[in-house]
Amino acid sequence: MISGLFRFSANPRSLHNTSYAKLRYGKKLAVICAFVGAAVLLGAGAAALAQNAPGASPAGTAAVATDPARDAALKAYLQKHFKIPSAELIKLGPAFKTAIDGLLARQLIVSNEQGQRITTTLFFDKDESKAVIGQFIDVSTDPWGRINMGAVSLDDRPTLGPADAPVTIVEFADFECPFCAHAFSVMETLVNTTYKGNVKVIYKDYPLNAHVWALKAAEAAECARLQNPAAFWDFARYFYTNQGTINPKNLQEQVNKLASSQKLDQPSLKACMDSPQTEARVKQDQIDGNSVRVTSTPTFFVNGIPVVGLPDGKVLEFVINSELGEKSVSAAAH
For 237-256, write each residue's pLDDT tens digit.
999 999 999 999 999 999 99
Regions of the chain short of the pLDDT cut 50: 1, 3-57, 329, 334
For 82-121, write each residue's pLDDT tens digit.
888 888 999 999 999 988 889 999 999 998 876 777 889 9
Residue 334 falls within a domain, yes or no? Answer: no
Whether residue 252 is found in the same domain as residue 127: no
Whether residue 270 is found in the same domain as residue 322: yes
Whether residue 114 is found in the same domain as residue 179: no
Residue 153 falls within a domain, yes or no? Answer: no
Residue 145 falls within a domain, yes or no? Answer: no
Whether residue 200 is found in the same domain as residue 60: no
> Which residue range forms the structural domain that includes residue 292?
159-328
Whether residue 56 is found in the same domain as residue 103: yes
Euclidean distance between CA atoms 29 and 23, whole angstroms: 6
Euclidean distance between CA atoms 137 and 197, whole angstroms: 35
Whether residue 249 is found in the same domain as residue 164: yes
Element (H, E) at 226: helix 214-227
b/e string for 191-213 if b means 16 or more Cβ within 10 A? beeebeebbbbbbbbbbbeebeb
In the chain, how many domains are there?
2
Residue 140 falls within a domain, yes or no? Answer: no
Determine the distance from the C-alpha atom of residue 74 to the mean position of all C-alpha atoms in its chain, rounded to a whole number: 30
Nearest to 126 by CA among 146, 142, 102, 109: 102
pLDDT score for 42: 31
Residue 151 falls within a domain, yes or no? Answer: no
Report whether 288 contacts 281 (CB < 8 A). Answer: no
Nearest to 149 by CA among 329, 28, 292: 292
pLDDT score for 286: 97
Question: Environment class of residue 138 by beta-carbon count within 10 Å: exposed (0-12), middle (13-18) or buried (19+)?
Answer: exposed
Residue 204 falls within a domain, yes or no? Answer: yes
Euclidean distance between CA atoms 83 and 81, whole angstroms: 6
Whether residue 186 is found in the same domain as residue 322: yes
Euclidean distance between CA atoms 248 and 261, whole angstroms: 21
Whether residue 202 is found in the same domain as residue 122: no
CATH code for position 174: 3.40.30.10
Question: Residue 214 CB: number of other CB atoms within 10 A?
Answer: 26
* DSSP label at residue 26: T
Report whether 99 contacts 139 (CB < 8 A). Answer: no
Sign (positive or negative) of CA dihedral 251, 257, 262, 263:
positive
Euclidean distance between CA atoms 43 and 100, whole angstroms: 13
**What is the bridge-based pairing of β-strands 167-173 and 199-205?**
parallel
Report whether 285 contacts 154 (CB < 8 A). Answer: no
* DSSP label at residue 253: H
Whether residue 18 is found in the same domain as residue 102: yes
Per the document, the length of the chain is 334
Determine the distance from the C-alpha atom of residue 14 to the mean position of all C-alpha atoms in its chain, rounded to a whole number: 13
Question: Residue 172 CB: number of other CB atoms within 10 A?
Answer: 26
Whether residue 302 is found in the same domain as residue 216: yes
Whether residue 113 is found in the same domain as residue 170: no
Element (H, E) at 96: strand 96-97
Residue 224 falls within a domain, yes or no? Answer: yes
How far, in Å, are 98, 134, 283 from residue 92 at the CA level? Answer: 16, 14, 32
Euclidean distance between CA atoms 79 and 293, whole angstroms: 29
pLDDT score for 41: 30
- Claim: this prediction has a pTM higher than 0.85: no
Whether residue 112 is found in the same domain as residue 168: no
